[in-house]
Amino acid sequence: MSATLEQAPATAAEDAVNMTDGFHLVIDALKHNDIDTIFGLVGIPITDLARLAQAEGMRFIGFRHEQHAGNAAAIAGYMTQKPGICLTVSAPGFLNGLTALANATTNCFPMILISGSSEREIVDLQQGDYEEMDQLNAAKPYAKAAYRINKAEDIGIGIARAIRAAVSGRPGGVYLDLPAQLLSQTMDAERGRKSLVRVVDPVPRQIPAPEAVQRALDLIQGAKRPLILLGKGAAYAQADAAIRAFVEKTGIPYLPMSMAKGLLPDNHAQSASAARSYVLAEADVVVLIGARLNWLLSHGKGKTWGGPKQFVQIDIAPTEIDSNVAIAAPVIGDIGSCVSALLAGIDANFGKPGIEWTRAIAERKDKNLTKMAATLAQDPSPMNYHSALRAIRDVLKTRPDINVVNEGANALDFTRSIVDMYQPRKRFDSGTWGIMGIGMGYSIGAAVVSGLPVVAIEGDSAFGFSGMEVETICRYQLPVVTVIFNNNGVYKGCDPNLNPRLKNDVAVTAFVKGARYDKMMEAFGGTGYHVTTPAQMTKALTEAIAAGKPALINAVIDEAAGAESGRLINLNPKKGALKK
């Protein structure tokens, strides 16, 4: 049979025009859902995926270690309610990213870890492929959901599924496995376009039941000493106006958890932060809004909580209720809908808390604030956490739009209580796990997403976990100013080595003395500062923020300042064998 001209088979070039492949479909599917940034680290088999993303107009922010790319993606998800994307190579790259995925899931941050993987048939028979690993099963226990896409025509639905899993309900980390052979699979371009899925209503409202709302209102109304506790779920929900209205209309004192600081400005008259121990012990009804009763809240019981209490708990996850103590009034739904429903039930007859309660709190606050002011006013030499943080606090007060990243032990605890926040979702820290290593990843993610400056306040040990990413900060010329509280060690720098016979070994907590972290920054073209007094700190921080360029301030503080494990001393096991 001879073919007519019209029926002639397409040339290879014509074929290519009408065909698409897995690489293109992954990028198209992400873009189709308004995802415009990928945080990652390239290598086999995803280098071309990253190149193509850039060519197609997405930002690809390349890191030096996948954990930090994952942390950047996680914080981007927290800030935007859109899943942050982290892209890694197989096995070791995937495992490096997995810590960040697990941390995101633990903190309820939406992100998607996308990793290339080796040939299934070799992995499944364990025949020893390059970077062989059963990544899907490894990810499952640490992710909210884990999926693998095997066919090019499933890329659209697979990515839609990953996005919805990450952001709907309680947000979390999702793992998406992309075998190398998927990326090179080809299919008809038109069919490919049609296979893409745009997720409709990815974060659906979840309206609470009216009887649950009424039960909560009755309990709050009957309280003598009510307290509101705002967690990072409340900050994440972006229901800022409704939450503020609820606090102000009810007149109930509130406590923000660390990442909820700034949801209402920390200098708000109803903030009970400066009387934290008092209100936790004395309150009779506590309204939890997007905060879990985990270790950060002493599991809702024990000495911290004083006498018996009743709880209202607003959360999107029904299984969070009764997790640690009995919850008298659960309100299940999204925080925006729940708080609005409560607000609707508060009318002119709603009784505000009695004067004895609010006056007692005000007295405690005054007393504690006066004491803190006296400590902050001291100018010891060498500088300590308090005098350095006084300088930082005063500079940051002039720039409430700045993002603050914070990790360490003492560096975390003191910064949280001394540096006030004035706007929502501006403070990012070690969170639910108390993890070290989020510093530079969160800083990069926050700078990229917000386009605003970041000040990272870091213990010297904490900084070490992600310090190499200062190169990334310099490469992308991000406005990140890192302040390192340099006390020569983990917690402190002056512990003794307990075995004098091991002369060349220092204490288990000690680092090189007098390290010049500022020179690390200079090595990559950023600005380094070496400061030893609060006045120098003020000058350096002001200048570095104004410059809007990468900078690092090596702040030398007293190596004996601070306590082991910061405020968590009681979580250390009791000394047994070591006790003489």
Residue 287, interface with ligand ADP (CB under 6 A)?
no
Q: How far is the CB of 262 from ligand ADP (least distance, A)?
A: 12
Q: How far is the CB of 571 from ligand ADP (least distance, A)?
A: 16
Residue 19 three-state SS: strand
Contacts of 159 by beta carbon, 8 Å cutoff, 6+ apart? 26, 29, 30, 33, 149, 176, 197
Residue 170, interface with ligand ADP (CB under 6 A)?
yes
Q: How far is the CB of 344 from ligand ADP (least distance, A)?
A: 17
Per-residue interface string for the shown chain with ligand ADP, residues 245-264, x marking contact by CB under 6 A: ------------x-xx----
Considering beta carbons, is residue 315 or 407 the nearer one to ligand ADP?
Answer: 315
- Distance, in Å, from the CA atom of 25 to the CA atom of 23, rounded to the nearest integer, reads 6
Using the 8-state DSSP alphabet, how is residue 511 labeled? Answer: -
Q: How far is the CB of 108 from ligand ADP (least distance, A)?
A: 5
Which one of 172-180, 192-200, 310-318, 450-458 is the stretch in contact with ligand ADP (CB under 6 A)? 310-318
Considering beta carbons, is residue 19 or 494 the nearer one to ligand TZD?
Answer: 494
What part of residues 487-506 is at the interface with ligand ADP (CB under 6 A)?
none
> What values do phi and psi take at 554, rounded to 5?
-85, 100
Residue 315, interface with ligand ADP (CB under 6 A)?
yes
Residue 74, interface with ligand ADP (CB under 6 A)?
no
What part of residues 505-524 is at the interface with ligand ADP (CB under 6 A)?
none
Q: How far is the CB of 80 from ligand ADP (least distance, A)?
A: 13
Which one of 41-49, 50-58, 217-225, 233-241 is the stretch in contact with ligand ADP (CB under 6 A)? 233-241
Residue 407, interface with ligand ADP (CB under 6 A)?
no
The arrangement of strands across the sheet holding 254-256 comes to 254-256, 226-230, 285-289, 310-315, 329-332
The arrangement of strands across the sheet holding 403-407 comes to 427-429, 403-407, 454-459, 480-486, 551-556, 527-531
Contact of 445 with 111, CB cutoff 8 Å: no
Buried b (16+ CB within 10 A) or exposed e, 189-220: beebeebbbebeebbeeeebeeebbebbbebb
Residue 315's binding partner among ligand ADP, ligand TZD, none (Cβ under 5 to 8 angstroms by kind) is ligand ADP
The position carrying tokens 């905060």 is 291
Which of 305, 292, 282 shows the shortest CA–CA distance to 229?
Answer: 292
- Distance, in Å, from the CA atom of 146 to the CA atom of 69, rounded to the nearest integer, reads 19
Residue 60's binding partner among ligand ADP, ligand TZD, none (Cβ under 5 to 8 angstroms by kind) is none
Q: How far is the CB of 509 from ligand TZD (least distance, A)?
A: 8
Residue of 108, 396, 481, 551 interacting with ligand ADP (CB under 6 A): 108
Q: How far is the CB of 579 from ligand ADP (least distance, A)?
A: 34
Residue 226's binding partner among ligand TZD, ligand ADP, none (Cβ under 5 to 8 angstroms by kind) is none
When CB distances to ligand ADP are compared, the closest residue is 233
Structure tokens at 141: 């226990």
Q: How many CB atoms lie within 10 A of CB 579?
A: 6
Which of 255, 299, 22, 244 shows the shortest CA–CA distance to 155?
Answer: 22
Q: How far is the CB of 263 from ligand ADP (least distance, A)?
A: 10
Residue 292's binding partner among ligand TZD, ligand ADP, none (Cβ under 5 to 8 angstroms by kind) is ligand ADP
- Distance, in Å, from the CA atom of 5 to the CA atom of 468, rounded to the nearest integer, reads 61
Residue 490's binding partner among ligand TZD, ligand ADP, none (Cβ under 5 to 8 angstroms by kind) is ligand TZD
Residue 320's binding partner among ligand TZD, ligand ADP, none (Cβ under 5 to 8 angstroms by kind) is ligand ADP
Q: Is 353 left (phi over 0), alpha (psi -120 to 50) or beta?
A: beta
Residue 223 three-state SS: coil
Considering beta carbons, is residue 75 or 435 the nearer one to ligand TZD?
Answer: 435
Residue 231's binding partner among ligand TZD, ligand ADP, none (Cβ under 5 to 8 angstroms by kind) is ligand ADP
Chain residues that interact with ligand TZD, rule: CB under 6 A: 408-411, 434-437, 459-462, 485, 487, 490-491, 562, 566
Which of 206, 221, 151, 159 shows the shortest CA–CA distance to 182?
Answer: 151
Angle among Cα 149, 154, 160 to the nearest 5 degrees reads: 90
Q: How far is the CB of 496 from ligand TZD (least distance, A)?
A: 17
Residue 31, interface with ligand ADP (CB under 6 A)?
no
Structure tokens at 3: 């073919």
Q: Footprint of ligand ADP on this chain (CB under 6 A)?
A: 107-108, 170-171, 231-233, 236-237, 257, 259-260, 290-292, 294, 296, 315-317, 320, 334-335, 432
